[in-house]
Amino acid sequence: MWRKEQEHSLAEHHVVVVGAGFGGLETVRGLSGAPVRITMIDQRNHHLFQPLLYQVATAMLATSEIAWPVRYLFRDRPEVKTLLATVQGVDTAKHEVLLSDGHSVPYDTLVLATGARHAYFGHDEWERFAPGLKTLEDATTIRRRMLMAFELAERETDPARRQALLTFVIIGGGPTGVELAGAIAELAHVTLVKDFRSIDPHLTRVVLIEAGPRILAGFTEDLSAYAHKALERLGVEVRTGEAVTECAAGHVVFGKETLATGTILWAAGVQASPAAQWLGAEADRAGRVKVAPDLTVPGHPEIFVVGDTAAVFAPDGKPVPGIAPAAKQQGGHVAATIKARLSGKSAPGAFRYKHSGSLATIGKRAAVIDFGWIKLRGWLAWWIWGIAHIFFLIGTRNRIAVALSWLWIHISGHRSARLITQGKAREKISSSVE
């Protein structure tokens, strides 16, 4: 049964939200005006707009253009307290969130929106050589490795080693892999063509590897085929039906081929946070908590799980995709459920996902969009993709900044965020190229 307040008044009902992603943020927003106090916990002090993270990684946008301090977002919400801390467990018996520093935070209602990280399918050792893209730190690491590859190639005298440094491999043909591949190809073949004297950036190879039969498997076959051809027009080599069997310093093995490369990027899979382990709850193969239809944990109606941390299924049995709109809808549903419970009204019941469409961009002039009732491709889809992403950014300043950055890149091809940071100036890529 729903846990009633015994020690506090209704106005002091304590909601703890772990994770400042789309799901967590929407939960807190939806609770505005409710008789609760809220504690939001995250191990980072910012909310990140992940759909544009690849543009930070490929030097198109600055970090500040897609991230916002959580405290700033709730500066006008005195009932919201923000804690910068790392959660390492949940005591479901005592109703406490356990922090890594030994402290704990009591809760009456708990919302876990802790997201996911990249999964290497049992080969965690590959992460050292093939970083994924989930955080700002990931993005700046990738940007540093990518730009350093060109700098090292400029000084390399051995032709084979130079070509290896100018070879970029992206593993995974989903939206992130496709967007990374297109952006890197344009960076090399357009932006950097006049910047170097010893190398010709036109000789840069960008190889996208997908184990399945086609890229963008979540889209229809015709849109997938269009994306494939659009990438090839940008100079990307698309290799499908070939699984990667080895990632190491200086090379990657897929199919029967060994490819020398200085930069390997991972976009092939995700693994949920350890929330299921914290709760002792049943999880799917990706580690996501198998929640009840109302997004609560079976046996714990006071605990909700949303976003990439939850395994949620639509009425037709298909899994709800791990995308921002889905997380936001789940956060809104949780907030509505909590408010209904506290007011004594009927709760909304089962969560119903409304799919608003799938989008992916291919470079700066093409995209694919699947709204279900209509499918778009090409420059019109790219404009709609851009407008949609700008709309969901937080704050007028960020919307204007991103729009101007895109306009400048579209007109001039120049990317102002080509900065090598957070590493030694002479750092090598992963290790020496073989």
Active-site residue set: 179
Full 3-state SS string of 83-116? EECCEEEEECCCCEEEECCCCEEECCEEEECCCE
Query: Within a 10 A sphere around the Cβ of 293, how many other Cβ atoms?
Result: 12
Q: Which position has the token pair 């990684």? A: 57
What's the CA gap between 284 and 273, in Å, rounded?
12
State the amino acid at position 335 in one-letter form.
A
Contact 107, 15 (CB under 8 A): yes
83: β partners: 41
What's the CA gap between 51 and 16, in Å, rounded?
26
DSSP letter, residue 125:
G
Closest to 388 (Cα-Cα) out of 342, 305, 323, 303: 323
What is the CA angle 117-149-163, rounded to 5? Answer: 115
Measured in degrees and rounded to the nearest 5, phi and psi for residue 314 equal: -75, 165
What's the CA gap between 200 and 189, in Å, rounded?
9
What's the CA gap between 15 and 176, in Å, rounded?
33
Q: Which position has the token pair 């937080």? A: 394
What's the CA gap between 140 and 228, in Å, rounded?
27
Residues 6 or more apart whose Cβ sits within 8 Å of residue 142: 57, 58, 131, 133, 265
Query: Token pair for residue 64?
Result: 């500040």
What's the CA gap between 117 and 144, in Å, rounded?
20
